[in-house]
A = this chain, B = another copy of it.
């Protein structure tokens, strides 16, 4: 058995002022010291029960963030992706509303629009692209985008999140029918939208059982 380097990397995605954005951190150590990259680190065999625990630990330690949703993305492996040697990265992607990143307030976290991403070290550009593709594809037939909408949101706000991810306008009536079909939302009693709105709008939140898991649609949006 030859030694293989085993790491985790996390693609933390949010909807920022410039659209879908990924959280990058300057690397503290060589290789690529000082270069912005995905938060990542070694698996700690003495602390982590599973790969997902390593991903959550690294994310919390390096960004202060505990994401509402984190899922395995894929593994990236090979002889050439890391100058230190043959390596495996178990890549995960996580979704958080923008205000969660703001509240965590980690000074090193930099959000970069996925449309404007320069080349990242290792194969992190490929990892980000794979995550964005997965998110966009899964947005078509699941409740995944809800994890970017914040704790409370109106249906027009949620529709704009779906539209931002899918890159196309959605029909309001069919969007609402699909949301009703998924049945993942609770109307929040007595809570209304900002006072500047022309008329008060109903607020929603995810049902408790869907705050850490997806619901899938049989037929997409």
A: interface residue count bin: 20 to 34
A-B CB contact pairs (8 Å), 21 listed? A4-B4, A4-B6, A4-B43, A4-B45, A6-B6, A43-B88, A45-B79, A45-B85, A48-B78, A48-B79, A48-B86, A49-B80, A50-B77, A50-B78, A50-B79, A51-B77, A72-B74, A72-B75, A77-B90, A219-B219, A219-B220
How many copies of this chain sit in the oligomeric assembly? Answer: 2
Q: Which residues of B contact A6 (CB under 8 A)?
A: 4, 6, 88
Q: For window 1-36 of chain A, which residues contact chain B by CB distance below 8 Å?
A: 1-6
Partner of A43, one of B42, B72, B86: B86
Give Cα distance in the complex from A43 to B189, angstroms: 56
18 A-B pairs besides A2-B44, A49-B78, A75-B88 with CB distance below 8 A are A1-B5, A2-B42, A3-B45, A4-B6, A4-B45, A6-B88, A45-B79, A45-B86, A48-B78, A48-B86, A50-B78, A50-B79, A51-B77, A51-B88, A74-B74, A77-B90, A88-B90, A219-B219
